């Protein structure tokens, strides 16, 4: 009798342990899945399209006094930088490319990468607070350092525009490239963003090679010629004022640089400067010449989630100071009271100021008759 009881109890006990083990394993798998997703080891299911998220509409922007900008963002790495940016309450955020690292010719994979970013709680919260505009660079255009020959650019264009929240009826959906402009603010305090596409029509580097393509050059000239803005911000994924040999740069396309300088000299709008990304460091640059109507400044913020020093990164003739090779974002504060000033800061993950400079709008005006 005792042996029969023990045999029954052993069966019951064994069944109970197996059941508990199954429950434990179920929770263990779910928790492991969560942390693997959190740190980017696994990806969100593509489901054929990008996630829909709540956004601040661009037409809600009535004035622009504070602009935040940045680039080079790996969705699988920590995303706490968004909380730093939010506390400054920017009127608009500008993506400068490498917003994700797609690096693929498979659209399902590109969708998963975008959806991973659109699943990050910090970024989802950010989108509810700050209007977003921007451009792409090579890693979200398609592949590392790629040019106009990337075969999937029509498809990735639509995915980028979905990510940025571009309306389905936007002209940007039908043109060849993601370039566009935005003008915000009241008369006398207008800021115009000229968002360039330096990938879709880009040749391989060379003396006479082009960056923008004829249609985009014509568009840019028209935008400058008919602008009534007081400040003009040109956004480009690749640095313009750089002669570093170890990074991509406009100056590997000297004909394109000359054409840009000629364009702004012939259309000397006030308050023009450049924002860029790409190099995994923050940097400030300037260039003065009779080739342009006034001193041209460029501000690079690169490395929202990752940054690193590399040999040759300091070898830039146009730098104001050595680059800051740590995680960073950029912050612009416009003081509209006379004299109008534009303060530009590069800030790190602890929100400390790495570099800053202040320029005055009166110094960014042509003295040509």
Q: Looking at the DSSP assignment, which residues form a beta bridge with residue 234?
A: 194, 274
- pLDDT surpasses 60 at 212: yes
- pLDDT surpasses 80 at 37: no
Rounded distance between C-alpha atoms, residue 324 and residue 313, angstroms: 10
- pLDDT tens digits, one per residue of 58-75: 999 999 999 999 999 999
The fold for domain 58-363 equals Purple Acid Phosphatase; chain A, domain 2 (3.60.21)
Number of CB atoms found within 10 A of residue 319's CB: 20
Average pLDDT over residues 143-157: 98
Region label for 278, one of left (φ > 0), alpha (ψ between -120 and 50) or beta (otherwise): left
Rounded distance between C-alpha atoms, residue 316 and residue 191, angstroms: 29
Average pLDDT over residues 329-345: 98
Average pLDDT over residues 18-43: 45
From residue 357, alpha-carbon distances to 73, 234, 331, 338, 344 in Å are 25, 18, 11, 18, 6
Burial of residue 6 (CB within 10 Å: 0-12, 13-18, 19+) is: exposed
Given this model, what pLDDT does residue 4 score?
52
The sign of the dihedral angle between the CA atoms of 152, 153, 158, 159 is: positive
Confidence of residue 368 (pLDDT cuts 50, 70, 90): confident
- Which of 348, 358, 349, 355 shows the shortest CA–CA distance to 319? 355
Q: At what angle do helices 214-225 and 254-266 cross, to 10 degrees?
A: 20
Sheet containing 231-236: which strands, arranged edge to edge?
180-184, 191-195, 231-236, 272-276, 296-300, 283-287
- pLDDT surpasses 80 at 260: yes
Token pair belonging to 334: 């416009």
Token pair belonging to 171: 């002209």
Percent of the residues in the chain that have a pLDDT greater than 70, as a whole number: 87
Average pLDDT over residues 261-286: 97
- pLDDT tens digits, one per residue of 178-202: 999 999 999 999 999 999 999 999 9
Given this model, what pLDDT does residue 38 score?
45
Confidence of residue 9 (pLDDT cuts 50, 70, 90): very low
Given this model, what pLDDT does residue 34 score?
41
The overall pTM is greater than 0.85:
yes
Given this model, what pLDDT does residue 328 score?
98
Given this model, what pLDDT does residue 225 score?
98
Confidence of residue 299 (pLDDT cuts 50, 70, 90): very high
> What does the mean pLDDT of the chain come to?
90
The domains of the chain are located at 1-42, 58-363
DSSP one-letter string for 241-287: S---TTS--GGGSHHHHHHHHHHHHHS--SSEEEEE--SSSBEEEEE
């Amino acid at each position: 009798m005792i042996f029969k009881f023990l045999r029954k109890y052993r069966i019951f006990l064994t069944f109970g342990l197996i059941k508990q083990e199954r429950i434990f394993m179920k929770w263990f798998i779910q928790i492991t899945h969560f942390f693997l997703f959190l740190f980017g080891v696994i990806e969100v299911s593509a489901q054929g399209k990008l996630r829909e998220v709540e956004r601040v509409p661009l037409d809600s922007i009535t004035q622009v006094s504070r602009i935040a900008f940045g680039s080079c963002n790996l969705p699988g790495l920590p995303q706490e930088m968004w909380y730093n940016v939010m506390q400054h309450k920017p009127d608009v955020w500008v993506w400068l490319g490498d917003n994700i690292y797609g690096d693929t010719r498979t659209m399902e994979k590109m969708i998963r990468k975008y959806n991973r970013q659109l699943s990050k709680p910090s970024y989802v919260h950010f989108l509810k607070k700050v209007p977003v505009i921007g451009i792409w660079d090579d890693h979200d255009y398609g592949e590392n350092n790629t040019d106009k020959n990337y075969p999937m650019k029509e498809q990735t264009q639509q995915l980028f525009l979905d990510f940025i929240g571009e309306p389905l009826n936007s002209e940007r959906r039908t043109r060849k490239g993601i370039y566009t402009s935005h003008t915000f603010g009241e008369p006398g305090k207008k800021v115009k963003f000229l968002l360039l596409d330096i990938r879709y029509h880009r040749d391989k580097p060379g003396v006479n090679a082009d960056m923008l393509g004829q249609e985009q050059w014509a568009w840019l000239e028209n935008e400058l010629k008919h602008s009534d803005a007081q400040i003009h911000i040109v956004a480009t994924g690749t640095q313009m004022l750089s002669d570093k040999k170890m990074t991509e740069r406009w100056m590997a396309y000297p004909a394109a640089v000359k054409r840009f300088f000629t364009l702004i000299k012939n259309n000397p709008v006030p308050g023009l400067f450049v924002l860029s990304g790409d190099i995994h460091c923050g940097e400030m640059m300037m260039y003065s010449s009779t080739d342009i109507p006034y001193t041209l400044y460029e501000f690079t913020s690169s490395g929202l989630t990752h940054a690193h020093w590399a040999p040759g990164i300091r070898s830039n003739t146009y730098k104001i100071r050595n680059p800051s090779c740590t995680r960073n974002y950029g912050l612009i504060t416009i003081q509209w009271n006379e004299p109008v000033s534009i303060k530009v800061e590069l800030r790190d993950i602890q929100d400390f100021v790495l570099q800053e400079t202040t320029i005055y709008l009166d110094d960014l005006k042509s003295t040509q008759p």
